[in-house]
Amino acid sequence: MTPTDLIPETDLARTRRARRIDRALAVRYPDAHCELDFTSPFELLVATVLSAQTTDVRVNLTTPTLFARYPDAAALAAANPEDVEEILKPTGFFRAKTKSVMGLSAALVERFGGEVPPRLTDLVTLPGVGRKTANVVLGNAFGIPGITTDTHVLRLSRRLGYTTSDDPLVVEQELNHLLPRADWTMASHRLIFHGRRTCFARKPACGACPIAASCPSAGIGEIDPVKATALLKG
């Protein structure tokens, strides 16, 4: 069964189910957190931009060298692009990423005194920064709740029947409606952890899933508990 096969669910029932699922995921992943390493809002902003089309692990292997050489927006804005490209090469799309991180650094210096602004409307004006990146920074660097619509959150939101949309803005709005505002950041982390460790894109481990009873897509993956447990990561 897929979300589109469901008998229409009332808003109240969907909200209750979404919150029940989030509570179950909190038990399953009590250590859910942002898996990008950072020590400042600037480092998280740059790391999040670099995470596009690569893994957090790869970014975490790259950013120590980048930040040791360019510790703040002013330093990165004044860098030699070729030197930055060489550092960022392992992350893929390194020329575009160099342009983005140097551009956003210059914009921070020119318009925000070199500091990362704690406002979504300001963050999305920076080169290479969209709502997803802005919400990562707001939620994890400033404690301002936000839904992160990365690939895992988008996939799981459809599988769980929260939405039928592929549009990140629509999915963000749907999740904002279903979950308490105070929980938006952590709910995002829990969905991402679940997507990376259990509810895989190709073959989810349904037989070892703590929310299978509440999931309209349960059964699309491995349903044998032993085989499903062997698929789990982390």
Side-chain-facing half-sphere of 213: CA atoms under 13 Å: 4
Q: What is the C-alpha separation between 113 and 37, in angstroms, rounded?
A: 24
Per DSSP, the residues of 94-112 read HHHHHHHHHHHHHHHHHHH
From the list 72, 150, 227, 233, the catalytic residue is 150
From the list 5, 31, 56, 132, the catalytic residue is 132
CB 222 within 8 A of CB 207: yes
Burial 124-143 (b: 16+ CB within 10 A, else e): eebebbebbbbbbbbbbbee
Cα angle value 23/223/218 (rounded, 5°): 50
Q: For this structure, is 132 an active site residue?
A: yes
CA 190 to chain centre: 10
Nearest-10 crossing angle of helices 131-141, 41-50: 150
> What residue type is assigned to position 82 of the chain?
E
Q: What is the C-alpha separation between 70 and 78, in angstroms, rounded?
A: 9
Just list the catalytic residues. Answer: 132, 150
